Amino acid sequence: MAKFTIPVSSRRLYKLLGLFAIAIITIVIIVKGTDITSSLSGPIDGKSDYVQGSKKANAPKKARTKYDDKYKYVKYSIPEYKGEKVRATFVTLARNKDLNGLRETIKSFEDRFNSKFQYDWIFLNDSEFNDDFKVTMTALISGEVKFGIIPKEHWSFPSWIDQDRAADTRKEMKDIIYGDSISYRNMCRFESGFFWRHPLLDEYEYYWRVEPDTKLYCDVDYDIFRFMKDNDKKYGFTISIHEYRATIPTLWDTTVEFINLHPEYVAENNMLDFVSNDDGMSYNLCHFWSNFEIASLDFWRSDAYRDYFDYLDHAGGFFYERWGDAPVHSIAAALFLNRTQVHHFDDLGYYHGPFHQCPTDEKIRLANRCDCDPNRDFTWRGYSCGKKYYKVNNLAKPKNWADYSK
Ligand SMILES: Nc1nc2c(ncn2[C@@H]2O[C@H](COP(=O)(O)OP(=O)(O)O)[C@@H](O)[C@H]2O)c(=O)[nH]1
Ligand SMILES: *[C@@H]1O[C@H](CO)[C@@H](O)[C@H](O)[C@H]1NC(C)=O
Ligand SMILES: *[C@@H]1O[C@H](CO)[C@@H](O)[C@H](O)[C@H]1NC(C)=O
Ligand SMILES: [Mg+2]
């Protein structure tokens, strides 16, 4: 019997020890838990300190330094910009129904770039944003988030537009993508002439335009706005493409009329050869795909662009045809900028349905941890204007570009 009592009491002892251990673990978890909550409330309350400190941005990645010499090309061509932050912001035009498409998009832009630099993000809509939208976006974004409403006169027919003629156009164009849409036309006119006039953008010098359902495929470890500013870049793009001719039948002729009135606005070292194959006689339909833009707000604020937009707006093509903001922005950039002020971000991976930019240069792709398939890259394909852009600017294409051109 005595032999039995010992194991029983030791079982009790084990039980007691077990309970004691569980109690300790529970206490540790509770204490840790409050630690986590209090450390979370720090950055949220003191967000501005956190943003200015930008400490994360300056910490080099361990894995990266190990392979520094192997990826020398990348290091050499893309210096890491760690200087002072630029007055820059993201800008997204959106609707309630874009919330789902925006969640993943924002996550990829934050993970790949913005969590390291904490730039602000502005959302614009033609009516008030609801709370679900605001709360979700604010939680996902590391910088300050601002919501703005578009003034009615920036999102409607201007007084001089003939409503019957505009309605006829929408009927005639019903078989062309967005051809029958009023809201799409308002959107194109807004993105051409008004987003940069919104008071929320006044304090900024540069912006990065982001649309719902897009994605960033590669790490961006340098301050891309700093890069723009330090190198006097005014317009940066990823994908370029040919426009549907039916949407812009008179855009070029209207542009030529404007240039004849204002030859002083045309830059000396311009990029006319990117948008015209016959020295300005006609438009070759090439444009930068404006759903992605990293650009200077001061460029749109310039007299040249303001007067150009005004001229186009009075000509009525946003409603009598279906002029897109992409060809309007691109033609302006090609004519009013020194060609050295336009930049192709060949180091970025980007998706907006149905096209991808995925760096075909393996060194770039691996160094920047791109999660895209280069076989889907659009840059060197026939319908793209990438080859044209590289040719007219005397830029070297990646060695293997032809493997991704068919
Ligand atoms: N607020 C608002 N945004 C719009 C409207 N139409 C388009 N957008 C936004 O404008 C951008 C371009 O529209 P999208 O449908 O993506 O056109 P696509 O990229 O040319 O096919 C996106 O950011 C949309 O969220 C609209 O009627 N209201
Ligand atoms: C944006 O405006 C539209 C009306 O134009 C409205 O239906 C929608 O709810 C607004 N979006 C958000 C997120 O509030
Ligand atoms: C265009 O920019 C480049 C680089 O900044 C400069 O060397 C060149 O002089 C400029 N050309 C003109 C015509 O302004
Ligand atoms: Mg889109």
Among 124, 125, 126, name the best residue to mutate to test ligand 2's pocket (greatest count of ligand atoms within 8 A of Cβ): 125
Exposure pattern of 255-266 as b/e (b: 16+ CB <10 Å)? beebbeeeeebe
Alpha helices in 264-343 (DSSP H): 272-275, 297-301, 303-315, 317-320, 325-336
Q: Which of 110, 191, 243, 293 is catalytic?
A: 293
What's the confidence (pLDDT) of residue 84?
84
Residue 66 has pLDDT above 60, yes or no: no
Tell how far the Cα of 198 is from the centroid of ligand 1, in angstroms.
17
State how far Cα 225 lies from the chain centre.
12
Those residues with Cβ within 8 angstroms of residue 240's Cβ, 6 or more apart along the chain or in another chain? 286, 287, 288, 289, 330, 344, 384, 385, 386, 388, 389
Measured from the CB, is residue 75 less than 6 Å from ligand 2? no
Q: Architecture of domain 88-404 in CATH?
A: Alpha-Beta Complex (3.90)
Q: Average pLDDT, stretch 350-355?
A: 98
> Which CA distances in Å does 27 have to 18, 30, 32, 339?
14, 5, 8, 65
Q: Phi, psi (5° rounding) for residue 295?
A: -150, 170
Alpha carbon nearest to ligand 2 atom 13, residue = 96
Tell me which residue of 243, 321, 326, 248 sits closest to 289, measured CA to CA.
Answer: 326
Instruction: Report the pocket of ligand 3 as residue ranges, CB < 6 Å.
Output: 232, 268-269, 338, 340
The predicted model scores a pTM of: 0.82
122 CA to centre of ligand 2 in angstroms: 15
Ligand 2 atom closest to residue 98's alpha carbon, by position in its atom list: 13
Positive or negative torsion for Cα 284, 285, 289, 294: positive
| 41, 317, 396 from 391: Cα distances, Å | 53, 31, 8
Ligand 2 pocket check for 155: Cβ under 6 Å: no
Tokens read off for 210: 């982001």
**What is the C-alpha to C-alpha distance for residues 204 and 297, in angstroms, rounded to an integer?**
7
Mean pLDDT of all residues belonging to the chain: 86
**Which of these ranges, 45-54, 95-104, 390-399, has the smallest mean pLDDT?**
45-54
What confidence score (pLDDT) does residue 79 get? Answer: 47
Question: Given this model, what pLDDT does residue 51 score?
Answer: 27
Could you tell me the distance, in angstroms and rounded to a whole number, from the CA of residue 212 to the centre of ligand 4?
7
Question: How far apart are alpha carbons 386 and 404 in whole angstroms?
Answer: 12
Query: At 295, which helix (H) or strand (E)?
Result: strand 293-296
Each domain of the chain, given as residue ranges in start order, spans 16-75, 88-404
Q: In a mutational test of the pocket of ligand 2, which residue from 92, 96, 103 has the highest number of ligand atoms less than 8 Å from its CB?
A: 96
pLDDT in tens, 144-189: 999 999 999 999 999 999 999 999 999 999 999 999 999 999 999 9
Measured in Å, residue 103 CA sits from the centre of ligand 3 at 41
Q: Is 153 a catalytic residue?
A: no
- Asked if the bond preceding 263 is cis, omega within 30° of 0, the reply is no
Q: Ligand 1 — pocket residues by CB below 6 A? A: 93-95, 98, 125-126, 183-184, 187, 211-212, 291
CA angle 27, 32, 38 (to 5 degrees): 130
Tell me if 274 sits within 8 A of 344, measured CB to CB. Answer: no
How far, in Å, is the centroid of ligand 3 from the Cα of 234? Answer: 13
